[in-house]
Amino acid sequence: MDIAVVLLVILGVVVLAGLWLWSTYNGLVTLNERVSEAWSDITVQLKRRADLIPNLVSTVQGYATHEKAVFTDVTAARAATVSPAALASPAAAAKAESGLQSTMKSLFAVAEAYPELKANQGFLDLQAELANTEDKIMASRRFYNGGVRDFNIKIKQFPQTLFVAKLGFAVREFFEVADQAAIQEPPQVKF
């Protein structure tokens, strides 16, 4: 009878350990897929913005034909943000984003020099759509970074940290601002 009790206890421990491992693995898979989905949402929004930029450039170009360097820079930066290399990792995407943001500032500086352009309804609609898309990108980044945080916490906790690498899980990278100096100075508002 004593051997039967010991065997039942051992069997119970093995079953509980198996259930815990199964539950932990499925939780990690779920979190990993949520992070992948969130990254996909970011790329969709980046593509949406990239699709708006040529229309914006065309509208500004109609008014400021002599600003060819600005248009070329914006077009190149736009292409860089949707390139496979830029979408390969959050760090690469952040670097491409930084380049696009600086060229877009140049484009809007050109637009500021043309009052008739600033009054053009098509230009205003494109600006509003671009601002809306930027808000969606920001929300997607927050969702992605929240998923990365949850996933990274889960795989770094003990005892998961002992075996997650063997199961193919690794720490995911946050989507962070590439140019920290750009966010440390307050924005300039001009009326």
Give me the sign of the Cα torsion angle 78, 75, 191, 127. negative
If one counts every other C-beta atom within 10 angstroms of the C-beta of residue 61, the result is 17
According to the model, what pLDDT value does residue 179 have? 59
- Using an 8 Å Cβ cutoff, are 52 and 129 in contact? yes
Average pLDDT over residues 100-106: 86
According to the model, what pLDDT value does residue 11 have? 94
According to the model, what pLDDT value does residue 191 have? 33
pTM over 0.85: no
Confidence of residue 140 (pLDDT cuts 50, 70, 90): very high
According to the model, what pLDDT value does residue 150 have? 95
According to the model, what pLDDT value does residue 178 have? 65
Q: Is the pLDDT of residue 98 over 90?
A: no
Q: CB-hemisphere CA count at 13 Å for 143?
A: 18
Structural domains of the chain in order of their starting residue, each with its CATH number: 24-178 (1.20.1440.20)
According to the model, what pLDDT value does residue 172 have? 93
Residue 137: phi and psi, rounded to 5, are: -65, -45
Cα–Cα distance for residue pair 86/98, rounded to 1 Å: 11
In which residue are the tokens 């005892």 written?
159
According to the model, what pLDDT value does residue 185 have? 52
Q: CB-hemisphere CA count at 13 Å for 113?
A: 12
Q: Is the pLDDT of residue 183 over 80?
A: no
According to the model, what pLDDT value does residue 114 have? 79
- Using an 8 Å Cβ cutoff, are 144 and 45 in contact? no
Angle (CA) 134 60 120, round 5°: 85
Average pLDDT over residues 95-120: 82
